[in-house]
């Protein structure tokens, strides 16, 4: 929008939240509706009434006006708290939330009610009456017992999927949820279990590595195993407080991150995994730490580091590319989005993907310094993935290690419970071999 304004596209008109920003939001939603797409699902997070979400709510209100209510369905998730001292649930938060939506012109077609306990028929009728939603469109979403992946089954049992199909006048074949039920059963009754250490710098934040944790669980599903994730703060390794934690895990994952804090701890975790033959997966900064560790301890280049944290390092094995160095805007120097990568045949990563070329999502600035590629390969590190032009290192692995792979991209963002990412699938498989 700012670029359009600077370009003169608005012809001097005052740029406003409505319609200019809402128009951009609507355009982004409609861009997803490519040929062959039957239904576009848009999610707005947060709480109704928050100032951050008002523009987005206004945008979806306008979509309903533009496309007709029969072509747009509003499903609102509300919270029905259980007051344990009183032994009853309260519907007032749901009533107030729906009232806020109706104030801005959005009338929900269905409500999904989060609760700790089951909702009685009387409670559902009350919500229906005061929220002006049909009683059979008041869907209970009680906390599930084992895994969040039970939720789609719970919603389907209450007919939410059929209600959506009826609203859009679509054919209603019986849903085949066999594979999904088998996946949930695997989570509920795994054949074995394995411990994976995640060496992070944001371990105190529960959701900081949520995508990684889910991808690890997907890898466990593929191997019919439950995965116990052991958070290992990188700074604890630096302080010598995490030796016991590293010894109890059967696989070590070093994820991404920015800045100096905890980097040396991550590098020591890589060294532990390499020297003790513990299956290792490095992601983004994890690859950079793996290359730094190998350069220091195998190539013998003391002081090797990344220019992100050590500008005067004698061996800048990780650095900005020449074309990035004159860019002062930090975001403008980042490599973002999906990029292609060519895999080296007869490598573990090639075996995992079963393909010569892949596409994965990136979010980083610093790259492996090409000036050090020769010595890395000479000392035994395999450059297993490169950009199509051969200028950027995308993946490395150690051929004399049971399973040691590090990648510059973020494979966790493409993992799904019914289609686990091959790197997480094989990583968990290797960890199971180690634990047995």
Assess contact for 431 and 250: CB atoms under 8 A: yes
Reported as a single tens digit per residue, the pLDDT across 146-172 is 999 999 999 999 999 999 999 999 998
Q: Which of 3.40.50.880, 3.30.750.80, 3.40.640.10, 3.40.50.1100 is the CATH number of 189-435?
A: 3.40.50.880
Give the pTM: 0.90
Beta-bridged to residue 407, according to DSSP, are 283, 395
Distance CA 402, CA 279 (A): 7
- How far from chain centre, in Å, is Cα 144? 21
Assess contact for 197 and 217: CB atoms under 8 A: no
Range from 294-303, 329-338, 387-396 carrying the lowest mean pLDDT: 329-338
Taking each continuous run of H as one helix and of E as one strand, the counts in the chain are: 16, 17
- Kindly tell me if the per-residue pLDDT of 322 is higher than 80: no
Outline where 42-142 has alpha helix (H).
54-67, 92-103, 121-131
pLDDT value for 12: 76
Residues in the chain: 436
Average pLDDT value for residue range 328-337:
67
Average pLDDT value for residue range 272-284:
97
Distance CA 272, CA 427 (A): 17
Assess contact for 322 and 302: CB atoms under 8 A: no
- Kindly tell me if the per-residue pLDDT of 45 is higher than 60: yes
- Kindly tell me if the per-residue pLDDT of 139 is higher than 70: yes
Task: Give residue limits of the domains in the chain.
Answer: 1-72, 73-172, 189-435
Model confidence at 199, pLDDT cuts 50, 70, 90, reads very high
Distance CA 128, CA 85 (A): 25
Q: Which of 141, 218, 412, 421 is catalytic?
A: 412
Catalytic, 146? Answer no
If you compute the radius of gyration of the chain from its CA atoms, what whole number of angstroms results? 26
Distance CA 355, CA 343 (A): 8
Reported as a single tens digit per residue, the pLDDT across 357-368 is 999 999 999 999
Q: What is the CATH number of domain 73-172?
A: 3.40.50.300
Residue 398, φ and ψ in degrees, nearest 5:
-110, 115
Q: Is 189-435 the same fold as 73-172?
A: yes
- Kindly tell me if the per-residue pLDDT of 332 is higher than 60: no
Catalytic, 412? Answer yes
Cis peptide before 19 (omega within 30 of 0): yes
Question: CA 206, 210, 214 angle in degrees (round to 5)?
Answer: 130
pLDDT > 70: percent of the chain: 97
Assess contact for 428 and 226: CB atoms under 8 A: no
Single out the residue of 98, 100, 160, 105 nearest to residue 130, CA to CA: 98
CA dihedral 301, 302, 305, 307 (to 10 degrees): -90
Q: Which of 284, 289, 319, 341 is catalytic?
A: 284
Average pLDDT value for residue range 296-309:
95
Could you tell me which residues come within 8 angstroms of residue 429 by beta carbon, excluding any fewer than 6 positions away? 219, 222, 223
Question: CA 122, 127, 129 angle in degrees (round to 5)?
Answer: 95
Average pLDDT value for residue range 284-289:
97
Residue 182, φ and ψ in degrees, nearest 5:
-65, -40
């Amino acid at each position: 929008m700012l670029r359009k304004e600077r370009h003169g596209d608005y012809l001097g008109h005052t740029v406003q939240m409505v319609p200019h920003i809402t128009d951009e939001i609507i355009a982004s939603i409609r861009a997803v509706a490519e040929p062959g797409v039957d239904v576009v699902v848009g999610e707005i997070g947060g709480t109704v009434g928050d100032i951050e979400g008002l523009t987005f709510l206004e945008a979806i209100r306008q979509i309903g006006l533009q496309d007709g209510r029969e072509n747009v369905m509003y499903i609102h998730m509300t919270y029905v708290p259980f007051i344990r001292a009183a032994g009853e649930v309260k519907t007032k938060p749901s009533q107030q939330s729906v009232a806020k939506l109706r104030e801005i012109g959005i009338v929900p077609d269905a409500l999904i009610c989060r609760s700790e306990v089951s909702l009685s028929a009387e409670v559902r009728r009350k919500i229906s009456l005061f929220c002006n939603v049909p009683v059979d469109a008041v869907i209970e979403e009680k906390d599930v017992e084992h895994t969040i992946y039970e939720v789609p089954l719970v919603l389907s049992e209450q007919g939410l999927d059929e209600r959506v199909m009826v609203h859009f006048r679509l054919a209603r074949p019986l849903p085949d949820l066999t594979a999904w039920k088998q996946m949930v059963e695997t989570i509920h009754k795994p054949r074995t279990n394995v411990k994976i250490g995640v060496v992070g710098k944001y371990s105190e934040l529960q959701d900081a590595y949520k995508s990684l944790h889910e991808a690890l669980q997907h890898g466990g599903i593929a191997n019919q195993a439950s995965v116990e994730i052991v958070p290992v703060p990188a700074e604890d390794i630096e302080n010598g407080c995490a030796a016991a934690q590293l010894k109890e895990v059967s696989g070590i994952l070093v994820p991404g991150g920015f800045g100096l804090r905890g980097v040396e701890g991550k590098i020591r975790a890589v060294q532990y995994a390499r020297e003790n033959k513990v299956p290792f997966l490095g992601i983004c900064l994890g690859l950079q730490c793996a290359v730094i560790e190998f350069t220091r301890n195998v190539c013998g280049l003391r002081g090797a580091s990344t220019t992100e944290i050590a500008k005067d390092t004698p061996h800048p094995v990780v650095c900005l590319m020449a074309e990035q160095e004159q860019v002062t805007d930090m975001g403008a120097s980042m490599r973002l989005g999906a990029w292609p990568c060519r895999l080296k045949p007869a490598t573990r990563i090639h075996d995992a993907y079963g393909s010569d070329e892949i596409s994965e999502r990136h979010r980083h600035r610093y790259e492996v310094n090409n000036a050090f590629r020769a010595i890395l390969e000479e000392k035994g590190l395999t450059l297993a993935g490169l950009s199509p032009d051969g200028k950027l290192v995308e993946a490395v692995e150690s051929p004399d290690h049971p399973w040691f792979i590090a990648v510059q991209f973020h494979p966790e963002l493409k993992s799904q419970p019914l289609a686990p990412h091959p790197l997480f699938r094989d990583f968990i498989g290797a960890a199971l071999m180690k634990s047995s």
